[in-house]
Structure 1
Amino acid sequence: MNPIRLLIVEDDHKIAEIQRRFIERLNNLELCGIAHTLADARDLVDVMAPDLILLDVYFPDGNGLELLRELRATDSGSDVILITAAKEVETLRSALRGGVFDYILKPLVFERLQDAINRYREHLEKLATLNQLAQREVDALLPRGGTEGETGNQERLPKGIDALTLDKVRDHIARGGQWSAEDMGMEMGASRTTARRYLEYLVGTGELTAEVSYGSVGRPERRYFLKA
């Protein structure tokens, strides 16, 4: 598969540099530019036609959601992962209406970006193998897989989340305290990336709360605990 061509759109130069270094650590990615303003982003999108854009919301010359709407209005082939400090529900609603692939809250943690990029790569690979659509394939591509007949009254889970494993994670979390993805991975006998996927899912359902803490070497780490 060809490298994913990626554009960073972030007005804070330091944060953009962190994202650039994260991207360098991931395989099969090609950074095709960094834009610090929406005007520069529009030019780079027109010239470079990136596959994926890491997009902030707040810029001195406008709002990143404006760029997202423009991309969709022009039927752009660029997908978007929003990376932002915006925690307003309406911002999330607008992003979802605009068809973002993912929504990541700052401060950005490498493992969360890695998980998003891996899922995006899997998404592209599935699309590349399709010749003709059937409902099963459509369900596998959309965020909430499965059909009513398959799930019945059970919880509908996205691809990559297994019900039995999810129950185990919930059991561990029920003990109380705060959990890192690494801690949970050890309990599950799984990788930190897999554990983070389940923990982030539970944050999305409102069962858990996540906060960023800094370890002894100053590396940011998300820690998860039951929502009060």
Structure 2
Amino acid sequence: MLTVLVVDDDFRVASVHQGFVEKVPGFRVVGQAHTATEALEMADRLQPDLVLMDVYLPDGDGLDVTRTLLGGTDVPVVIVISAATDVEAVRTAIQLGVVHYLIKPFGLTALAERLGAVRAARAQIAEWPPDASQENIDHLFDLLRPTRSDGDTPELEHLSPTLQLVYKSIGNTRPGLSASEVAAQVGISRATAQRYLSQLEDMGAVSLELRYGQTGRPEHRYSVRRR
């Protein structure tokens, strides 16, 4: 079981990301930090295997925190999760040795793909041969590139009638539909729509994205996955 520290200045967003992580087999969140100071203290105390690192923190820069963590002795794997897309931030992340960089907002599938890549690479390192070849090294680097699960549209005839209706209701809408909107279109309860949408997401048929408003919790919106 790989332990994870979630770092994000927004308490609500940190909780959403923790929920995402805990849906991925083999990972367990051991803490949430909301400032640079907390991130350094908790990383030192908890010794997580993986840190999900926000860039914009109220008392510092997440990349400076990353520099400190990766310059220590018990070095975690770091995945940056941020709205920062400027070239300086991306270049710094690469130079520091960050393994992945996810732009907010992102869905469960995007994070799960990268967590799966990290898990596979860790397993490979644990079985590293003493006489490693170039092929071994190439394979390790390849593992850190997430394998997307995008495939063809699922065979609708194999889905239950209600699941087919839920899937078809989404269509190619952008930026997707909420569970409440799907429920209204199909004529089912919101709870039922949410259950079927989660099932379609697990199948890789739809993508979940979060839309962040001014107040309240982020809105979950679902769209058909692109091939």
Q: 1:159 to 1:83 in 2, by over 3 A?
A: closer
Could you say what secondary structure the match of 1:32 adopts?
A: strand
Say whether the 8 Å CA contact 2:83–2:103 is kept in structure 1. Answer: yes
Change in CA separation of 1:102 and 1:223 when aligned onto 2, cut-off 3 Å? farther
Q: Which residue of 2 aligns with 1:185?
A: 151
Give the drift of 1:43.
0.8
RMSD of the alignment, in Å?
2.6
Structure 1 contact 9–34 (Cα < 8 Å) conserved: yes
TM-score by structure 2 length? Answer: 0.67
How far apart are residue 24 of structure 1 and its match? 2.2
Q: 1:222 to 1:142 in 2, by over 3 A?
A: farther
1:118 alignment counterpart: 116
Q: Report Cα offsets for 1:70-98 as digits up to 9, x if no partner.
A: 12222432110101000111111100111
Q: Read off the aligned partner of 1:219 and give its amino acid letter.
A: H
In structure 2, relative to structure 1, the CA distance for the partners of 1:15 and 1:43 (3 Å cut) is same
Q: Could you tell me how far apart the structure 1 residues matched to 2:4 and 2:115 are?
A: 10
Distance 1:89 1:54, change over 3 A: same
- Secondary structure at the residue paired with 1:186? coil
Q: Percent identity?
A: 29
Q: Give the alignment partner of residue 175 of structure 2, picking from 213, 216, 226.
A: 213
Matched, 1:140 2:133: no
Q: Displacement of 1:118 after TM fit? A: 0.6
Tell me if structure 1 keeps the 8 A contact 2:121–2:143. no
Describe the shift of the 1:138–1:23 C-alpha distance in structure 2 as closer, same or farther (beyond 3 A).
same
Shift in Å at residue 27 of structure 1? 1.4
**Aligned-partner Cα distance in 1 for 2:94–2:53:** 14
Q: In the aligned structure 1, how far is the partner of 2:28 from the partner of 2:107?
A: 20
Please show how residues 82-161 of structure 1 align to structure 2 within 5 Å: 82-132=80-130, 133-143=132-142, 160=147
Structure 1 unaligned spans of 5+: 146-157, 162-180, 190-211
Shift in Å, 1:99: 0.6
How many residues of Structure 1 are paired with residues of Structure 2 in the alignment? Answer: 168
Q: Which runs of 5+ in 2 are unaligned?
A: 156-173, 180-218
- Could you say which structure has the greater relative contact order, defined with CA pairs below 8 angstroms and 6 or more residues apart? 2
Runs of 4+ residues deviating >4 angstroms: 158-161, 221-225
In 2, the alpha carbon distance for the partners of 1:32 and 1:8 equals 8
